[in-house]
């Protein structure tokens, strides 16, 4: 079935769930008017529906391949990427100083999610470039900015992120890659990196790698790591391509899904690079890109969920089976369990999408106002948006396959591809378990202050809904109070394993309650409409999950580690 980008959903959320006027009143985003917002999202929707969605199956059936040291991408991918680049979509939120549009992240996040639903394998390329652009804007020297940013923003060059090494995994501090000062402002970078998304390809003329490496005599662990920009071709001062650098693609990974996205093993042999940020400041600089990517990956989960839902709904409406009432054969969409799955998918997509958009809005307000409260809000919501967005992607893709029964298990229908493609998003940019640990540890270093302020605002919204929807408002209020109490318990635990043992259920409970409040807000804007009905379904049937999750979240480590590793192996 044809994919349709969720343009109207985003327009509704921006108008009714966010204080868009407050954002547009800032000097930074005063040009992002309602008319501009509508025009951009509608144009992006056409791009996704007409140009990118047809590439979805091509990437799966005709994977990227490495031939004689050259990576060949899937049919149509080069043209698709050029369409994205020529439309200026890579630089939507980049600074106008180097050719970007300077638009709010809420818009670029919406566009990225729609592109992900159309063709996730291809969308990964612009996402990596956008993250690198932001990292360079914040941390690079003026020379690097002037030379590299215009090319990255235009799409003439693309960007990657090189963290992981064979022996290190998520323990970035165990990396062995090294860099030696050449004495001329450049460094010789050597080492091997794995799982590099779009590490090599044929859709742009140059590829710029952000590589974590260690300088001689630097201390062990993450504190001794520096960040280097290492291009495939060393550019001349005027931006033209110079000699081939000491960068080699060793192999491409054979993956469960995302076959159209070339995931490379990269080898660096005395490759010329420039340091980004101060010596031994690599993690701070790289985290700028990682946080950008975490929100983006959460949006990828939502995008695939939307596409999988549309695919399942179309099948369910067309498939006739069984009897329902006196009128004879009905579509399976009328069967209670299938109807339950479809409603669950739609309700969870709305919740995950609105949480991600709320996170992007907090980032925008922090950038526009410099208010530390907005920065804290953005930091708090980032792991929730990433984890819940991708968990939703996996769950919805699985339900979509279930709706289609045996046909969903047949590869030709395309249903299984959504499940295979989205599965890695819960691993990308820090597994969802790492996101949950970050939430209960680093994001609670303020004693839960940022979370408490969010709960206060949520309860103010709930009170406004109480006259119209007393039962729903009461359910969400009670859930919010339970979440507040659980947060206070977590903050009080000095033993971090007591926090970590329940971190994943805590994050999910947080997302469940936040999703309920946002659904309730949507119901207020659409009284008697489809969104009120969907909110009622979510609050009455899905929100109650939070209670069991919070019991788990506050159970501590004792019973968990009472089951020893020997017991597990027995």
The set of catalytic residues is: 429
Give the residue carrying structure tokens 């690097």: 144
Return the closest-CA partner of residue 480 out of 524, 518, 517, 523.
517
d(CA 144, CA 274): 8
189: three-class secondary structure by DSSP: strand
Structure tokens at 550: 């919070």
Nearest Cα to 174, choosing from 135, 110, 221, 118? 221
Cα separation, 208 vs 136, whole angstroms = 11
Whether 264 contacts 200, CB under 8 Å: yes
DSSP output for 499-560: HHTTHHHHHHHHHHHHHHHHHHHHHHHSTTSHHHHHHHHIIIIITTHHHHHHHHHTS-SHHH
Q: CA angle 233-238-241, nearest 5°? A: 20
Buried b (16+ CB within 10 A) or exposed e, 350-372: bbbbbbbbbbbbbbbbbbbbeee
Query: DSSP assignment of 416-458, as one string?
Result: HHHHHHHGGGGTTTS-HHHHHHHHHTGGGTTTTHHHHHHHHHH
| Cα–Cα distance, 524 to 517 (Å, whole number) | 11
How far is it, in rounded angstroms, from Cα 77 to Cα 79?
5
Picking from 166, 47, 173, 64, the residue whose alpha carbon sits closest to that of residue 117 is: 47
Contact 50, 42 (CB under 8 A): no
Pairing relationship of beta strands 320-323 and 233-235 according to DSSP bridges: unpaired
Q: Write out the DSSP string of 377-415.
A: HHHHHHHHHHHHHHHHHHHHHHHHHHHTHHHHTSGGGSH
């Amino acid at each position: 079935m044809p994919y349709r980008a969720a343009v109207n959903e985003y327009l509704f959320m921006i108008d009714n769930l966010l204080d868009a006027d407050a954002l547009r009143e800032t000097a930074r985003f005063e040009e992002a008017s309602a008319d501009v917002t509508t025009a951009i999202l509608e144009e992006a929707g056409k791009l996704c529906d007409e140009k990118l969605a047809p590439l979805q199956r091509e990437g799966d059936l005709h994977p990227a391949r490495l031939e004689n040291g050259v990576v060949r991408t899937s049919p149509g991918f080069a043209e698709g990427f050029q369409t994205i680049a020529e439309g200026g979509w890579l630089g939507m939120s980049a600074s106008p100083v180097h050719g970007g549009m300077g638009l709010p992240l809420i818009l670029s996040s919406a566009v990225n999610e729609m592109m992900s639903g159309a063709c996730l394998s291809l969308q990964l390329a612009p996402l990596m470039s956008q993250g690198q652009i932001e990292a360079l804007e914040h941390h690079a020297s003026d020379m690097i900015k002037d030379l590299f940013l215009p090319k990255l923003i235009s799409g003439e060059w693309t960007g990657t992120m090189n963290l992981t090494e064979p022996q290190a995994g998520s323990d970035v501090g165990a990396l062995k890659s090294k860099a030696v000062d050449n004495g001329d402002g450049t460094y010789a970078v050597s080492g091997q990196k794995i799982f590099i998304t779009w590490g090599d390809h044929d859709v742009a003329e140059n590829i710029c790698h952000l590589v974590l490496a260690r300088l001689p005599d630097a201390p062990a662990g993450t504190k001794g790591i520096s960040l280097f920009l290492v291009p495939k071709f060393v550019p001349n001062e005027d931006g033209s391509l110079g000699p081939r650098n000491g960068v080699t693609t060793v192999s491409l990974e054979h993956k469960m899904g995302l076959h159209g996205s070339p995931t490379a093993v990269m080898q660096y042999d005395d490759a010329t690079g420039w340091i980004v940020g101060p010596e031994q400041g690599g993690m701070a600089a790289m985290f700028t890109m990682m946080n950008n990517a975490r929100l983006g990956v959460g949006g990828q989960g939502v995008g695939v969920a939307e596409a999988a839902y549309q695919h399942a709904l179309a099948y369910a409406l067309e498939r006739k089976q069984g009897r329902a009432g006196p009128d004879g054969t009905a579509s399976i969409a009328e069967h209670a369990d299938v109807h339950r799955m479809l409603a669950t998918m739609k309700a969870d997509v709305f919740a995950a999408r609105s949480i991600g958009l709320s996170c992007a809005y907090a980032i925008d307000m922090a950038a526009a106002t410099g208010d530390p409260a907005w920065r804290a809000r953005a930091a708090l919501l980032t792991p929730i948006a990433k984890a819940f967005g991708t968990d939703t992607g996996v769950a919805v893709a699985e339900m979509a396959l279930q709706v289609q029964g045996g046909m969903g298990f047949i590869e030709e229908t395309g249903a299984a591809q959504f499940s295979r493609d989205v599965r890695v998003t819960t691993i990308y940019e820090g597994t969802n378990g790492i996101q949950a640990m970050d939430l209960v540890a680093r994001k609670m270093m303020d004693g839960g202050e940022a979370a408490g302020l969010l709960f206060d605002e949520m309860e103010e919204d709930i009170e406004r809904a109480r006259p119209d929807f007393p039962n729903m408002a009461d359910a969400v209020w009670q859930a919010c109070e339970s979440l507040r109490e659980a947060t206070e318990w977590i903050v009080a635990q000095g033993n971090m394993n007591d926090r970590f043992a329940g971190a994943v259920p805590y994050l999910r409970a947080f997302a469940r309650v936040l999703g309920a409040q946002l659904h309730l807000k949507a119901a207020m804007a659409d009284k008697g409409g489809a969104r009120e009905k969907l909110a009622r379904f979510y609050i009455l049937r899905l929100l109650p999950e939070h209670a069991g999750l919070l019991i788990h979240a506050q159970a501590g480590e004792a019973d968990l580690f009472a089951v020893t590793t020997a017991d597990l192996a027995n």
